[in-house]
Amino acid sequence: MDCFQTISRLKGSLGHQFLLFIVWLSSFQVAVALQTLLEPQHVSSTSELATPPISGIFGPIEISPAVFPRNPYPGESLAPMYPTFPTMYKPNLTGKCPVNFTALSNVIDKTASDCSQPLAALVGNVICCPQLGSLLHIFQGYYSVNSDKLVLQNAVADDCFSDIISILASRGANKTIPTLCSVKSLNLTGGLCPVKDVVNFEKIINTSKLLDACSTVDPLKECCRPICQSAITEAALEMSRTQLTINDNKELVTEHNGNGPLSDCKGVVHSYLSRKLSVDAANAAFRTVSACKVNKVCPLNFTQPLEVIKACRNVAAPSPSCCSSLNTYIAGIQNQMLITNKQAIICATVLGSKLRQGGVMTNVYELCDIDLKDFSIQAYGQQGCLLRSLPPDVILDNSTGFSFTCDLNDNIAAPWPSSSSMSTLSLCAPEMSLPALPTSQIKNPGNRGGGELELLAPIFSFFILSALLY
């Protein structure tokens, strides 16, 4: 009996150890499966500031200016990727804007970081300007929360807008952001929109439908199947068709920002949403909607690629002269700004369309090993940085300065367009039902290695597709 108990305990101990070994082995396999090599980038428009990492985990990487060495040219100004810290000071306010800015301190700090002095021009299109626009919408709603108005009078709007920019600058933001983002005080007045008060707004608009659509915006679905955007546009259309019947509004429409009633009414809708939603919920909704808009257009400026067309027109195989000309051209656009992964797809298609229009029919991206990262700023000197389609905010750290998160640290080939037209480009996958998983007629439990390798490929492909589309 004692022998039987001893054997039972031994079996239990061995079984326990075996289970632990299986758990450890599965964790090890997951870690190995995620490990991937980062190949050095072949196109560089800047001198190499640091050695790029040899390997890393597939996923977002955080780029902080602190990873770069000291300025090798102390006589020259610092490059935008070097660690810098904002100079804080007490702002000089007009004293004519009756708002407690302390209540909006968090969203103001977020905007100041996103529009920081060294990075504003580099991330203006995808981070700074969307966040500044969100701040103005939130301020507009907060200002009128204790009244029935949804907009500001022109004179007050001038003073409040000036105070907002002064506060942002005092917290490290670039002073030129009004010009960079094309915003002004008239954005707070409602412009030509005929409805500017809560009473008339709620008479005309189905507010329950509007709030349901925008209270929680799904960033994975909104851009391809818009819900909040459609609700905002529908409400703005309803208001823009309304005749101006309130005399108090006549003074407000004498000046406008040139965008027309529909655009002005969208600003009023944003103001109403800001009154009803929390600051965080409103900011998340506005940022997601803005991301959907900016990801539809390539923000880079392309000159006519005449030299590339000349060198690559009749190329059918890898050509040193063609690739050299193409690399030189792309290096010239790399210093413009940081772009998102979706924008990179559009930018690659735009350039490819220009080349096809010039007579280059061969996929020179493939011949010359051009990747999506080549169309954005090179964060490591040789490693390009693409932002997520919904970029996270710029982070200010007391030890590393400003930092931001890059996505797609693997080498995704730039897509070559099938024609010289951009009309067929769509980043939204068509809705379809997935087919049933195939069932094997012959079970082979001994072939585990091959099965795991085959399973890893579709998961890996799905991860890349998800990163590109969302």
Q: Give the per-residue pLDDT at 390.
A: 86
Q: Give the C-alpha distances (Å, rounded to integers) separating 154 from 80, 126, 162, 250.
A: 37, 29, 12, 12
What residue ranges of the chain have pLDDT lower than 50? Answer: 2-11, 23, 26-81, 244-256, 432-434, 437, 439-470
Query: Beta-carbon neighbour count of residue 317 at 10 Å?
Result: 7
Separation between Cα atoms, residue 370 and residue 42, nearest integer Å:
8
Separation between Cα atoms, residue 100 and residue 90, nearest integer Å:
15
Query: Beta-carbon neighbour count of residue 158 at 10 Å?
Result: 19
Query: What's the predicted TM-score (pTM) here?
Result: 0.71
Which has the closest alpha carbon to 341: 219, 216, 197, 468? 468
Say if residues 285 and 275 touch (Cβ distance below 8 Å).
Answer: no
Q: Give the per-residue pLDDT at 246.
A: 45
Say if residues 342 and 297 touch (Cβ distance below 8 Å).
Answer: no
Q: Give the per-residue pLDDT at 33.
A: 39
* Residues 6+ positions from 462 with CB-CB distance below 8 Å: none
Q: Give the per-residue pLDDT at 406.
A: 80
Query: Beta-carbon neighbour count of residue 65 at 10 Å?
Result: 23
Which residues pair with residue 413 across a beta bridge? 371
Say what the alpha-carbon torsion angle 144, 177, 154, 234 is, to the nearest 10 degrees.
Answer: -60
